[in-house]
Amino acid sequence: MPPDSHRELARPARADWRAAAIAAGSALLLAGLYMALLYAPEERTMGAAQRIFYVHVPAAWVGFLAFAVVCAASVGYLGTRRRAWDLTAHASTEVGVVFTTLAIASGSVWGRYAWGTWWSWDPRLTTTFLLWFIYVASLMVRAYGGTGTQPSRFAAVLGIVGFLDIPLIYLSVLWWRSLHPLPVVVGAEGVGSGLHPAMLHALVVNVVAFTILYVILVSLRREQMVVADRLTARAGRSGVRAGAGEVAG
Amino acid sequence: MSALRAVGLLVGKDLVLELRTREMLSAMGVFALLVTVVFTFAFSPAPGQAAAVAPGMLWVTLIFASLLGLSRTFALEREERCLEALRLFPFDPALIYVAKAASTLLVLLAVEALVVPALAVLGGVSPGRAAGPLAVVLVLGSAGLVASGTLFSAMSVHTRMREVLLPVLLLPVAAPVLLSAAGATAQLLAGRPLAAILPGLRILAAFDVVIAVVGSVVFEYVLEE
């Protein structure tokens, strides 16, 4: 194999914008961390525990953004059959599951301090938990869904159905909770109104930083998949050639 | 061939098969009764508590029973290579989805007609005047389970995991059905007025329509090979 062929697989030219994004994202993440821990004022009732907010909200936002991208890319894939759409959906599902897990875990820690319990069946928490299940199932479909384009098609169908299901899940959980109301549910995430300006600044910086992180992760993961595709195709081709040689010999 | 006639023929074929073997009817019916027994053993509700546990028990039982039926929906078609023949017919593949969902729904409703009265007796609850509205909840909820389950059944039957994948796909997506139907059933059994269950009925109806429409549109991508 000539030495250039590795470089041809990785296509370094495209990495330029990503290097810039990684630099900008890292700077913003550090700034966000500083603002969350030091710049934003202490919350009156919850104290330092409230600072989870600056990780929790951006993580939840990225989780939902990822699944919106999955739905759009799934529609694109079923419509055009371009592998590029499928790769975007796949990478976005993986990154979305990671951030949703982070949102649920940080929400649980938050709940420990805000509501005195690790888990409450709060509508947002429950909806997010069900979403997590749907997209984990989507990864299972991709892993065990069979051969050829079948896993991609099935995951795309689930990506569309799952995303359209979100409002229905939320409404049903809301109604279910209203039948047996929780004793105290603090409207802890009342973004905007009761928020100190410094808190809002810290939140915005973290949301932007997490969004850039999401874009970088999806792009990196996508590129890995592209390379994996090329390697598989190359292995297949050389396998065919070797087979043909044997027959000829 | 008109779409209606195609669906009618497909549903008829499924029902004739079912009536001759009574496979699903007996398997789902016996299984539903067994699940109820298991639940009662596990929770051993006091006589006064029965009404509190019954709605959840009913819907978990129905979901498990429908999973059992749904896992077989496409299995027979695939074993006998009937699905390939169906795909060769010059009609919209959405019709296969509609027909399969319709025949599964009819079987599930038949199972419910047999099993729900037995469950009421075993659970020690009597719906009384709520029987009519309860039937509406049962039909809407079953339609939602079948609309989403038929889609996922067609997917899981083509994978190595088969029956294992179906509940993993169906349970989170069909969560609105369980939440709204069990909630509405609980309200009805508690003697609340019809207005109290309207939000639940609306969610059930919305779920049925959204999933049935999306399912019909995307079904061709599930079938193609």
Give the mean model confidence (pLDDT) for residues B40-68.
Answer: 86
Phi, psi of B127 (to 5 degrees): -65, -30
Instruction: List the single residue in A146, A156, A162 with the smallest CB-CB distance to B158.
Output: A146
The answer to whether B188 and B137 are in contact (CB under 8 A) is: yes
Contact A157 B186 (CB under 8 A): no
pLDDT at A201: 86
pLDDT at B181: 95
The answer to whether B185 and B55 are in contact (CB under 8 A) is: yes
Contact B210 A145 (CB under 8 A): no
Tell me how far apart the alpha carbons of residues A104 and A171 are, in angstroms, rounded to a whole number.
19
Cα atoms found within 13 Å of the Cα of residue B131, Cβ hemisphere only: 8
Range with lowest mean pLDDT among A191-195, A202-206, B12-16, B18-22: A191-195
Residue B157: alpha-carbon gap to chain centroid: 17
The answer to whether B194 and B133 are in contact (CB under 8 A) is: yes
DSSP output for B53-81: HHHHHHHHHHHHHHHHHHHHHTHHHHHTT
Tell me how far apart the alpha carbons of residues B207 and B176 are, in angstroms, rounded to a whole number.
7
Give the mean model confidence (pLDDT) for residues B77-100.
Answer: 86
Q: What is the mean pLDDT of chain B?
A: 89
Residues A71-84 as b/e (b if ≥16 CB within 10 A, e otherwise) read bbbbbbbbeeeeee
pLDDT at B158: 86
> Would you give the DSSP letter of residue A36?
I
Give the mean model confidence (pLDDT) for residues B110-132.
Answer: 86
Contact A154 B155 (CB under 8 A): yes
DSSP output for A113-177: HHTSSS----HHHHHHHHHHHHHHHHHHHHHHS-STTHHHHHHHHHHHHHHHHHHHHHHHHHHHH
User: What radius of gyration do chain A's Cα atoms show?
Assistant: 22
pLDDT at A185: 40
pTM: 0.88
Q: Does residue B127 sit at the A interface (CB-CB below 8 Å)?
A: no
**Measured in Å, how far apart are chain B's first and last C-alpha atoms?**
25
Which parts of chain A are beta strand (E)?
A: none
ipTM tops 0.85: yes
> Which amino acid type is present at position B163?
E
Give how far Cα A127 sits from Cα of A121, A132, B90, B175, Å. 9, 9, 41, 10
Q: Helix (H, G, I), strand (E, B), or coil: what is residue A195?
A: coil
pLDDT at B21: 87
pLDDT at B184: 94
Tell me how far apart the alpha carbons of residues A101 and A63 are, in angstroms, rounded to a whole number.
9
Give every CB contact of residue B145 below 8 A, 6+ residues apart in sequence: B62, B63, B66, B70, B108, B170, B174, B177
The answer to whether A188 and A114 are in contact (CB under 8 A) is: yes
Question: Chain B residues with CB inside 8 Å of A171's CB?
Answer: 176, 203, 206
A74, A85, A171, A173: best mutation site toward chain B, by most B Cβ within 10 Å?
Answer: A171
pLDDT tens-place string over residues B180-210: 999 999 999 888 888 889 999 999 999 999 9
Give the mean model confidence (pLDDT) for residues B123-136.
Answer: 85
Q: Does residue B109 sit at the A interface (CB-CB below 8 Å)?
A: no
Question: Which candidate, B19, B117, B18, B120, places its Cα nearest to that of B69?
Answer: B18
The answer to whether A63 and A131 are in contact (CB under 8 A) is: yes
Q: Does residue A141 sit at the B interface (CB-CB below 8 Å)?
A: yes
Give every CB contact of residue B215 below 8 A, 6+ residues apart in sequence: A161, B97, B101, B147, B148, B150, B151
CA angle A238, A241, A244 (to 5 degrees): 155
> Would you give the DSSP letter of residue B138?
H
pLDDT tens-place string over residues B140-196: 999 999 999 999 999 998 888 777 899 999 999 999 999 999 999 999 988 888 888
pLDDT at A239: 66
How near does any CA of chain B get to the CA of A156, in Å?
A: 9
Give how far Cα A61 sits from Cα of A184, A188, A208, B83, B141, Å. 24, 16, 10, 42, 31
Question: Which candidate, A111, A122, A120, A103, places its Cα nearest to that of A49?
Answer: A111
Give the pLDDT means over successive 10-residue stretches in chain A (249 positions). 50 71 89 84 74 89 95 96 95 96 91 82 87 95 89 95 93 83 46 69 90 94 93 81 44
Query: Using 50, 70 and 90 to split pLDDT, how confident is the model at B50?
Result: confident
Question: Which candidate, A9, A24, A17, places its Cα nearest to that of A212?
Answer: A24
Tokens of B208: 């049925």
Contact B175 A171 (CB under 8 A): no
